[in-house]
Structure 1
Amino acid sequence: MKLCAIFFLCSLFNTTQQLNLKDRCVCELSNKEKAFPHETLNSVNDKALKCSQTATPQKAQELEILLLGLKLRLPQLLNDVSILEKENDGELYGVVSFQVIENELIEITNMVDRLNRTNQGHQHLTTDSGRQVVHLRAELQELEQYDTLKVEMRRKDNQRLKRALDECRDDNDHNPQPTHHPDSMQTSGVCPHGKFVNITGPRFYSTGESPANHKYGGWGRDPEPEMGKENWYWRLILNGNNIYANQISFYSSLSSLTVGVKTPGNFIIRPSNPTTNTIQGPNVVLYGGALFYNCYNSDQLCRFNIETKTISTVKLPKGTRYNSRGNFCHLSECYLYTDMDLATDESGVWLIYSTVQHFGNLVLSKVDISFPEDPPSLNQTWHTSVYKQAVTNTFMACGVLYATRYVNKGMDEIFYSFDPSTGVERFNVGIFIKKMCPNIYFLNYSPVDQMLHVYCDAYMVSYKVLFQEIK
């Protein structure tokens, strides 16, 4: 019985082996990606470790210790010299004092020699370390090309964002306050939110899907959206020359905007070659399902209806500055093709620009959009006494015009306001914007959520506008 069982198992094993050999499937795997250079990565790690072991904090402390020693010994030498000057016998005590001073000078000379040698060694160390860091950075940049999933790039963005948020959190208690009393703020009519007194933030900071070389653009929300589009966001990116754009993108939520998921997608306004109706400049707004912008290469205001894809225009007053002749500026730079600035608030759409007749000062016009089927037109117009090229941005909030100026790379100031209902101008508003980029190329107020939307160096940033309740 045992022999039969053994014979049966041997036969089954042989049959199974034959089937496996006969029916086996062989797959060939070919990897088209370049092999990752592990040796280069190990070399970079070794060099970085060696560099960190060579340039240590202890070496910097050597200089501090020697300098501290000199700082303590020099007063002692002065004290010994003063004692010598007061001695009168000129013999025994004078000889002893001279000997003490000589010993002090020898020790100080030795310390200075050591300090010079240490300083020279540190200079060579700094030069060598700097050269190694440059080489390591170049090698790391070459290794980054293997990061096809952009994991490292996103990690750096997250680290940058975390640093920015930490700075904002640290500065929260020291946020500059308005230099005026809140009761002195003027508003046009009755603002539903109260009086504009300050801003906080940034609340949102992201590049989304934007390429880094496209610095100019705009983004925001529609204050009068169609039903079902209340949570939508729009974004517009100018071409590589930062002059014009041909399309606007829509996103179903702020999360979709952050990760770059477009819904329903792009709306093409004109072909890639710019024409009269192409968008020029970053200062555009969306209101009531229509995009308002400066028509390309002309002193005209365009309105693009998203639903019907039709364009209507209105010619601006004679002498209006356009084609980058009346930009927003500060001492170091002007922002290209920002001659005309569109703005939205609780009451509708506004246009801020400048004219030759008014010596380049800010001009404010209300855009009449009462009849969407008709072309837009300019309603009432006001002239101000602030020079446009001394301003970096403007926006409207509750019927009041506000202007910003450049303070430094980290701060802009809302310094000016004009209330068209009273004609009152103020030059000491004193509300500060903590910038995430040196230059703000787009700034607009959203009455939907009382946020300031900012676009700077391909980054989208938002700030919360604070209002004080009117009692």
Structure 2
Amino acid sequence: MQCLSAVGFILLKAIMKFYTLILLCCLFNFTQQLNEQDRCVCELTNKEKAFPHETLNSVNENASKCSHTVSPQKALELESLLLGLKVRLPQLLKDVSTLEKEDDGELYGVVSLQVIENELIEIKNMVDRLNRTTQGFQHLTTDSGRQLNHLKADLEQLELYDILQVEKSRKANQRLKRDLEICRNDAQPTPHPDDVQTSDICPHGKFVNITGPRFYSNGESTVSHKYGGWGRDPKPELGKENWYWRVILNVNNIFANHITFYSSLSTLTVGIKLPGNFIIHPSNPTTNTIQGPNVVVYGDALFYNCYNSDRLCRFNLTSKTVSTLQLPQGTRYNSKGNFCHLSECYVYTDMDLATDESGVWLIYSTVHDFGNLVLAKVEEGDPPTLNQTWHTSVYKQAVTNTFMACGVLYATRFINNGMEEIFYSFDTSTGEEKFNLGIFIHKMCPNINFLNYSPVDQLLYAYCDAYMVSYDVLFE
């Protein structure tokens, strides 16, 4: 019985396999016989309009062209022409008045008339250029206005594709943030003058970052004059609040004997100097000559390292007189205590002058401090004097530059040709030193030969390989 049962079970399995094969064959044959029309195909229909990517690309391209066409540099030519006429016309009037008073009817009158004729030709050329520039600006204004209207219309059309209203929500959030900020400012009580603290703490808050560059130009100089300095007077005389100054060292990057002034940033860019004699000494070099690029102007006076000497010089820009201060014994000078990095030292940078909210500072090194940075406060006077002195633990030749801001000394080091790092700080109010600030400066040239902070506009002024550069200093 058991054998018959086993045989029956095996026979049943064989019959089931046979039927399964028959079904598979039938299914395969049926599938092969299906026509293309009998197959199921699903079509997806999008009722929304296709996003106009070409329009968006066109808007981006036109906006970029508009930003390139309408730039601050466009106004420089117009401003320089106006300033040039402002200088030339009074000079022409003066020459005509001189001719009227001193005309002898002979050779002097002929020469003077020739000079006046040349001046009139130059003024006429400037007026013609001014007219052409003005007409060009009128066309530029008309074209730019038309382009902006087109861009506005295109953007309004593109906003219709914002089905999820992301852009609308973003604008609403911006309005809310603006209203909230206004509300916060209105809610803060105005401090009474007696309640304002007049301590040495920085009024701007903590120094946190450097952005920019904001300005970049070589002005009227050539690349052969690599070293120099520039900036503004933090304590200017009345009428000189917008003046800029510049000192350019000779081709050997050692000394200079004069300083030039400009009435604005645009005149500095195009090289229109203010009239006046700011020559320290007619012959070069002398003991009163400027040595090195690290100079500053403060209180209508130029502070610098006296030539071939361990003394500090102060040139009074009004009286044209020089007073000196003998520095402590052992002070390094004559390119023995320079700012350096691994590949190069910046010659004759033994002494660095700096300005901040409190006045003038002197950064130098001595043999007694093993070449470490020494910081001293320079007190105003004629001659100047040194007040309190601080001794740091950072080696001067491991530093590429220094500057002061709110009573804090900052030092930089070379990272590469495109980057400088502010790595060190020394707080004069607490004596605290930090070696890991990690604030970076994006350089326009490999070497920064001059660095100084201006409390007037919270800008960091740099001079690198004959170019003037400025950066925004950000506080908390």
The TM tier, using the shorter chain, reads 0.5 to 0.7
Counterpart in the other structure of 1:219: 230
In the comparison of the two structures, how many residue pairs are matched? 278
SS, match of residue 339 in structure 2: coil
Query: 5+ residue gaps in structure 2?
Result: 1-198
SS, match of residue 439 in structure 1: coil
Deviation at 1:273, TM superposition (A): 1.8
Deviation at 1:264, TM superposition (A): 2.6
Give the counterpart letter for 1:229 in structure 2.
Answer: K
Counterpart in the other structure of 1:390: 398
In 2, are the aligned partners of 1:250 and 1:266 still within 8 Å (CA)?
A: no
Which of the numbers 215, 232, 250 marks the counterpart of 1:239? Answer: 250
Task: Percent identity, please.
Answer: 82
Counterpart in the other structure of 1:286: 297
Matched, 1:455 2:452: no
Matched, 1:335 2:346: yes
1:69-218 counterparts in 2 under 5 A? 189-218=200-229
C-alpha distance in 2 between matches for 1:289 and 1:264 = 16
In 2, are the aligned partners of 1:251 and 1:265 still within 8 Å (CA)?
A: no
Deviation at 1:189, TM superposition (A): 3.1
SS, match of residue 436 in structure 2: coil
SS, match of residue 433 in structure 1: strand
CA-to-aligned-CA distance 1:336-375 (integer Å, 9 cap, x gap) = 0000000000000000000000000000000011xx3x31
SS, match of residue 407 in structure 1: strand
Structure 1 length-normalised TM: 0.58
CA-to-aligned-CA distance 1:149-196 (integer Å, 9 cap, x gap) = xxxxxxxxxxxxxxxxxxxxxxxxxxxxxxxxxxxxxxx832111110
Matched, 1:270 2:278: no
Deviation at 1:211, TM superposition (A): 1.6
In 2, are the aligned partners of 1:416 and 1:426 still within 8 Å (CA)?
A: yes
Counterpart in the other structure of 1:248: 259
Give the counterpart letter for 2:283 in structure 1.
Answer: S
Query: 5+ residue gaps in structure 1?
Result: 1-187
C-alpha distance in 2 between matches for 1:211 and 1:269 = 22
Q: CA RMSD in A?
A: 0.9
Deviation at 1:419, TM superposition (A): 0.5
Counterpart in the other structure of 2:384: 376
Matched, 1:296 2:304: no
C-alpha distance in 1 between matches for 2:217 and 2:237 = 26
C-alpha distance in 2 between matches for 1:266 and 1:447 = 27
Counterpart in the other structure of 1:74: none
Which of the numbers 248, 253, 261 marks the counterpart of 2:272? Answer: 261
Give the counterpart letter for 1:234 in structure 2.
Answer: W
Counterpart in the other structure of 1:356: 367
Give the counterpart letter for 1:308 in structure 2.
Answer: S
Structure 2 length-normalised TM: 0.58
C-alpha distance in 1 between matches for 2:276 and 2:404 = 29
Which of the numbers 327, 333, 340 marks the counterpart of 1:322? Answer: 333
CA-to-aligned-CA distance 1:249-303 (integer Å, 9 cap, x gap) = 0000000000000013551001232010000000000000000000000000000
1:389-468 counterparts in 2 under 5 A? 389-468=397-476
CA-to-aligned-CA distance 1:200-256 (integer Å, 9 cap, x gap) = 100000000012100000000000000010000000000011000000000000000
Instruction: Give the number of the structure whose alpha-carbon radius of gyration is greater.
Output: 2
C-alpha distance in 2 between matches for 1:335 and 1:361 = 17
SS, match of residue 368 in structure 2: coil
Counterpart in the other structure of 1:121: none
C-alpha distance in 2 between matches for 1:365 and 1:192 = 22
SS, match of residue 202 in structure 2: coil
Give the counterpart letter for 2:430 in structure 1.
Answer: T
C-alpha distance in 2 between matches for 1:418 and 1:280 = 26
C-alpha distance in 2 between matches for 1:310 and 1:413 = 38
Give the counterpart letter for 1:427 in structure 2.
Answer: F
C-alpha distance in 2 between matches for 1:189 and 1:231 = 26
C-alpha distance in 1 between matches for 2:310 and 2:274 = 33
1:38-77 counterparts in 2 under 5 A? none
C-alpha distance in 2 between matches for 1:358 and 1:466 = 33
Counterpart in the other structure of 1:78: none
SS, match of residue 267 in structure 1: coil
C-alpha distance in 2 between matches for 1:382 and 1:248 = 30
